[in-house]
Amino acid sequence: MTEQQWVRHADGCFRALVPQARVVACQLPLTLIIAGLYIAAPVAWPGLLDGGLCLSALALHTMLILACLTVPWQRFGPLAPLIVPVADLLVIGLICAANIENLPDPGVLSVLPVVWISASRLSSRASISLSFAGTLLAGLPYVFAPGPAPAQVRLAGVLLLPLMMLAVSLAMRFARAQLRNQQSRMASKETELQALLADSRDRERLLNTILDTVDVGIVAVDAEGHRLLTNSWQSQLEASAARSGVADTVAPDAPDTTEDVPVLTGQDRQTPLPQGRRPIRRALKGESFADYLVYFGEAPAGRVLSTGGRPLKNDDGGFRGAVIVFNEVTGLVEALAAKEDVVSTVSHEFRTPLTSIIGNLDLVLGDAEDLAAPALRRIEVAQRNAERLLALVSDLLLSANSAVHVFPRRTDLASLVEASLGSAHAHAESSKVALSMDVPAPLWAHVDPLRISQALDNLVSNAIKYSPDGGSVRISASTENGWVRLQVVDDGMGMTAADAGRVFTRFFRSPAVREGSIPGAGLGLSITKAIVEGHGGSISCTTLPGCGSTFTLELPAEGPPPAF
Ligand code: ADP
């Protein structure tokens, strides 16, 4: 128990006493000393029992003890018991006046009533004055008592004692004031702490309610992987996963897979996810990720979760755990799969008749001498539109397949660029757009020539399509650090920053393009992105409305052919 705790405990015990007991407790020290004096008197100071003054003192003190025990002090207010220490000073004064031979100065006993008065609720000024005046008055009879010492010596002695008691009283009041200050500071701190505690409890309740209301699973783990928090959605998910034998345990010795039970799998819904690829493990490695799909349970009844993780940092930026979010997207994934199924089936069914239409139109146009000019023009229009339709159907088919397959080999990009500009020539001429290229030949890259041609055709046809008459389109290329950088630059209509951020999203078309009724399906750039990323490369777009756009492709380069 610390000193402060001990003081508090003692104070608490004292306050718990009934008023009489409290007064008796204050009076007890003096009573014990006086009792000791009178018991020892027959042997040590026989005069103590002879003189009238001493006997009066004993009688007065006895009456005081009885009063302490019997008077209902609580009825007379908190200051009433102070009459006892004041009367004690009188008792001590009477013993002093008796001037008993060999008795050590009994005046020092005044310190006990003075301490009592000073510790009471009396105001500082009153308690200090009372301590001084009470001691002084109690000592006065001693000045006039018979004895050998001259009166002025006695007076000096009588004055010294009140001064000492004045000092004691001052010290007591000072200590008491300090204690009060400390107590009030502690009380206000305690109030603040209580308010903070109540506030944090409220916040915790609010947070828990929010966490348990949302339809996503939330898990927080510390740096060792111990759970700090699991919301109710997640608990239900884990309970159902446990029933089907799935565990994303974070225990370091957990088995990767368990025989005979379904486990978390990757996109193919068969290959079990290695421990290091499980969401909680990834987050524990400090990874920050989003939209990471994991599967469990057998298709089609299995479930799909989109997961995300963020590390938790402490004040110095050190890793202290992670928060992982699980969002069930089974319905969404199934709907998307169904939609893509429909799109790819329909597109596939369209292709055969369209190819037949185009083939037959080609045959008719190959034998065009017998045809009248208006009929020829109509057949050419029909052929152009059939080809556009076939291109659209091919795009739809390609974008419906989630993975674009590429077969890279050593390819001269310069010749692909040349071919792409060549096939766009007619389109550019009719749109009055100038085409140019600044590509060193040969420019070797490790790419799939068919797919990259498709990507270049998309970018060049967009650049022409979204440029006004008199515009220009330029393709430039350079090689750096094992990567080829291809840029398709136009000075056409450009886009806002918001449009540029969504330009690679499927079916996105900028509002300006929609309003301008420029034809298109919003698939070309998403396919181009998939092709470039299929090569391990990247594509980006910088643009400004009215100032044109630049599409930059990074593709893996390949050095010159080995010398013969
Ligand atoms: P489409 O051209 O068939 O609409 P894309 O996927 O090729 O589809 O392009 C998506 C959208 O991006 C276009 O509709 C257009 O709004 C914008 N866009 C693409 N290329 C350019 C460009 N060179 N200049 C301005 N806007 C472009």
Kindly report the three-state secondary structure assignment for every residue of 25-66: HHHHHHHHHHHHHHHHHHHHCHHHHCCHHHHHHHHHHHHHHH
Q: Give the nearest ligand 1 atom to 526 CA.
A: 6
If 0-12 CB within 10 Å is exposed, 13-18 middle and 19+ buried, where does residue 493 land?
Answer: buried
In whole angstroms, what is the distance from residue 41 CA to residue 45 CA? 4
The alpha carbon of 532 and the centre of ligand 1 are apart by a number of angstroms equal to: 17
In whole angstroms, what is the distance from residue 65 CA to residue 38 CA? 15
Confidence of residue 262 (pLDDT cuts 50, 70, 90): very low
Q: Is the CB of 508 under 6 A from ligand 1?
A: yes
Determine the pLDDT at residue 52: 83
- Per-domain residue ranges of the chain: 3-189, 217-328, 334-400, 409-556
Tell me the per-residue pLDDT of 335-360, one tens digit each, with 9 for 90 and over. Answer: 888 877 787 788 778 888 888 899 88
Span of 32-36, 260-264, 434-438, 533-537 with lowest mean pLDDT: 260-264
Q: Is the CB of 541 under 6 A from ligand 1?
A: no
Instruction: Give the Cα-Cα-Cα angle 453, 456, 460 (nearest 5 degrees).
Output: 135
pTM (2 d.p.)? 0.49
Query: Rounded to 10 degrees, what is the CA torsion of 465, 466, 470, 474?
Result: -90
Task: State the amino acid at position 377 in one-letter form.
Answer: R
**DSSP symbols for 235-251:** HHHHHHHHHTT------
Task: State the amino acid at position 50 in one-letter form.
Answer: D
Tell me the per-residue pLDDT of 430-488, one tens digit each, with 9 for 90 and over. Answer: 999 999 999 998 999 999 998 899 899 999 999 999 998 889 999 999 999 889 999 99
H-assigned helices in 466-504: 497-502
Query: Rounded to 10 degrees, what is the CA torsion of 42, 48, 51, 53?
Result: -150
pLDDT value at 89 more than 50: yes
Task: State the amino acid at position 314 in one-letter form.
Answer: N
The alpha carbon of 337 and the centre of ligand 1 are apart by a number of angstroms equal to: 26
pLDDT value at 232 more than 60: yes
Q: Whose CA is nearest to atom 20 of ligand 1?
A: 462
If 0-12 CB within 10 Å is exposed, 13-18 middle and 19+ buried, where does residue 482 land?
Answer: exposed
| Residue position matching structure tokens 């608990």 | 235
The alpha carbon of 461 and the centre of ligand 1 are apart by a number of angstroms equal to: 9
In percent, the amount of the chain with pLDDT more than 90 equals 39
In whole angstroms, what is the distance from residue 509 CA to residue 340 CA? 20
Q: How far is CA 40 from CA 43, 49, 54, 94, 98, in A?
A: 6, 10, 14, 18, 17
Report the mean per-residue pLDDT for the chain.
85
Q: In CATH terms, is domain 217-328 a member of 3.30.450.20?
A: yes
pLDDT mean over 24-50 = 88
Residue from 487, 513, 517, 526 to probe ligand 1 pocket by mutation (most atoms less than 8 Å from CB): 513
Q: Quick one: which of 455, 456, 460, 453 has its CA closest to 431?
A: 460
Q: Whose CA is nearest to atom 11 of ligand 1?
A: 509
CATH code of 409-556, in short, is 3.30.565.10
Kindly tell me the sign of the dihedral angle through the C-alpha atoms of 56, 59, 61, 63: negative
Q: Is the CB of 545 under 6 A from ligand 1?
A: no
Tell me the per-residue pLDDT of 477-518, one tens digit each, with 9 for 90 and over. Answer: 999 988 999 999 999 999 999 999 999 998 899 998 888 878
More confident residue, 156 or 165: 165
The alpha carbon of 119 and the centre of ligand 1 are apart by a number of angstroms equal to: 90
Determine the pLDDT at residue 559: 58
Q: Give the nearest ligand 1 atom to 458 CA.
A: 7
Look up residue 266 and give its two tokens: 């990757």
Residue from 525, 540, 544, 551 to probe ligand 1 pocket by mutation (most atoms less than 8 Å from CB): 525
Q: Quick one: which of 382, 343, 342 has its CA closest to 361?
A: 382
Tell me the per-residue pLDDT of 270-300, one tens digit each, with 9 for 90 and over. Answer: 777 787 888 888 999 999 999 888 887 766 6
Confidence of residue 327 (pLDDT cuts 50, 70, 90): very high
Q: Residue 281: how many CB atoms within 10 A of its CB?
A: 22
Q: Is the CB of 550 under 6 A from ligand 1?
A: no
In whole angstroms, what is the distance from residue 168 CA to residue 153 CA? 23
Q: Is the CB of 272 under 6 A from ligand 1?
A: no
Determine the pLDDT at residue 257: 37
In whole angstroms, what is the distance from residue 176 CA to residue 121 CA? 10
Contact 98, 142 (CB under 8 A): no
Task: State the amino acid at position 48 in one-letter form.
Answer: L
In whole angstroms, what is the distance from residue 278 CA to residue 287 CA? 11
In whole angstroms, what is the distance from residue 360 CA to residue 276 CA? 57
The alpha carbon of 561 and the centre of ligand 1 are apart by a number of angstroms equal to: 37
pLDDT mean over 414-421 = 94
Q: Is the CB of 548 under 6 A from ligand 1?
A: no
Same CATH fold, 409-556 and 217-328?
A: no
